[in-house]
Amino acid sequence: MTAVVVLAAGQGTRMRSSTPKVLHPLGGRSMLGHVLAASEPLGAEHTVVVVGAGREAVEAHLAQVAPKARAVVQEEQLGSGHAAAVALAAVPDLEGAVLIVNGDAPLLRAETVTSLVDAHRAAGDVLTVLTAEVPDPTGLGRIIRDDAGRVRAIVEERDATPEQRAVREINAGVYVGDAVSLRDALARLGQDNDQGEQYLTDVLALLVADGRPVGGSPAADAQDVLGCNDQRELAARRRTLNDRVLDRLMLSGVTVVDPATTWVDVTASVAPDAVLRPGIQLLGETTVATGAVVGPDSTLTDTEVAEGASVVRSHCQGAVVGPEASVGPFSFLRPGTRLARGAKVGAYVETKNAEVGEGSKVPHLSYVGDATIGRDANIGAATVFVNYDGVAKHRTTVGDHVRIGSDTMLVAPVTVGDGAYTAAGSVITEDVPPGAMAVARSHQRNVGGWVGRRRAGTPAAEAAAAAETRTVASDEGRAAGSTTDDQ
């Protein structure tokens, strides 16, 4: 394949969005990203993307997802034929086969594009159009063939006869053609239509009139060619794409308990014998290994879940959950979190840039940030790794077999040595030697009668007075009993 041309200059006004239409996301990629991914296996020498509306955003996106692609600006949106001509003009010496595809066809698959190119080469046609059989072709251009099955025309519905409107084979808007022949035909396109635009479909009519061989290759799945013009259609394409992903996963041996509430990006991967429970999203480059269980109600972004691990009702972003480790419920693993084998991050725990060693536990109600925790350590409830001094972040190191008491503040930078303990309620500001018990809390002082003096008339004061009365009566009873015994 010599070149791929993607038409991505349209306004997309029906999307009712400031985001360029081709940049709307679904299944882990933009619409444009899906089209580029479908054409990538062709190994084209040139990829040209025609941009127009929102071109700065589209060009920036291209730099991220397809840095080798070349963006060409269509200054005026004068139709699909004009856009194709602008693309070919940017590569004036181009020869060989060119694929032309719309940038708003997110369901287009690589195998469909490859099949189209193969059919084009096998037939030796100058132009081959991708077609599809649909149950309701209303509003779509019909493919008109002769008795020999050769494509003779693409007729828009407004121009079609009743017999032509009954045809269910439609134009998918994807073409493969000879670059030289395409350039010649595009140069002859007129603008004699209601919109005053140059239509790519008219190229086919010109080539047929020239007596050049034109063919059509039907897509195996008509959904491949569905475009996306408004938010309703975008939602429908998301569902179709996700259904395809889940179907592939289930056929490979993944258990998907409730496909209706399970969303997996095309960029994510799930191994056989993993279990996806209801209400989960696997986004970005997330991977889930064999035997892992994710969900219910969890969102994982760019996260690695290893063999036998579990994530329950939690959010993980840029994290690594090691083999047989467990997360949740209601935890938040932020970027840089790495859990070793058998580690546990329990309920209502937040971690960030933290390494939790093999077999170590952060069971509940804690924050672990910028930390390294050794193996088989236990972090008590309500522990906070105090990592930020208002200017810079600092790191805390907790050794092997350490026991951090509940409600401990570890003020970084600080190190707790192997086998050490901290007493509950301590504020640790200095290193704790291995095997030591760190106690960092002030002596308790009880100020008697404070509530009665400072909160007189409150329920607390009344409760305290009643308790004092009971205490006095009890003391007097014990004293009386002691006097009787003495007699």
Q: What is the largest CA-CA distance in the chain?
A: 134
Give helix 31-39 / helix 55-65 axis angle, nearest 10°. Answer: 40
Which residues have CB under 8 Å from 191's CB, separation 6+? 78, 79, 197, 198
Kindly state the tokens that stand for 186: 């595009």
- Residue 357 tokens read as 């060693």
The catalytic residues are 364
Asked whether the CA dihedral 185, 190, 195, 197 is positive or negative, the reply is positive
Tokens of 19: 């985001």
CA distances from 384 to 96, 208, 367, 425, 480 (A): 64, 75, 5, 11, 52
Q: Which pairing describes strands 25-26 and 29-30: parallel, antiparallel, or unpaired?
A: antiparallel
- Residues in the chain, total: 487
* CA dihedral for 441, 442, 443, 447, sign (positive or negative): negative
| Separation of alpha carbons 24 and 105, rounded Å | 12
Q: Is 237 left (phi over 0), alpha (psi -120 to 50) or beta?
A: alpha
Instruction: Tell me the C-alpha distance between 402 and 376, whole Å.
Output: 7
- E-state strands within 81-147: 97-102, 127-133, 142-145
* Listed residue (236, 248, 203) closest to 111, CA to CA: 248
Question: What's the CA gap between 341 and 303, in Å, rounded?
Answer: 16
Cβ distance 409 to 424 under 8 Å?
Answer: no
| Cα 133 from Cα 168, distance rounded (Å) | 5
For residues 341 and 375, give the distance between their C-alpha atoms in angstroms, rounded to a whole number: 10
Q: Which is it for the CA torsion 19, 20, 23, 27, positive or negative? A: positive
Could you say which DSSP state residue 456 is in? T
Q: Compute CA distances 27 → 19, 234, 252, 311, whole Å.
A: 17, 11, 19, 21
Of 101, 109, 104, nearest to 19 (Cα)?
104
User: Do 432 and 438 form a contact (C-beta atoms < 8 A)?
Assistant: yes
DSSP code, position 23: G
CA 90 – CA 86 distance, rounded (Å): 6
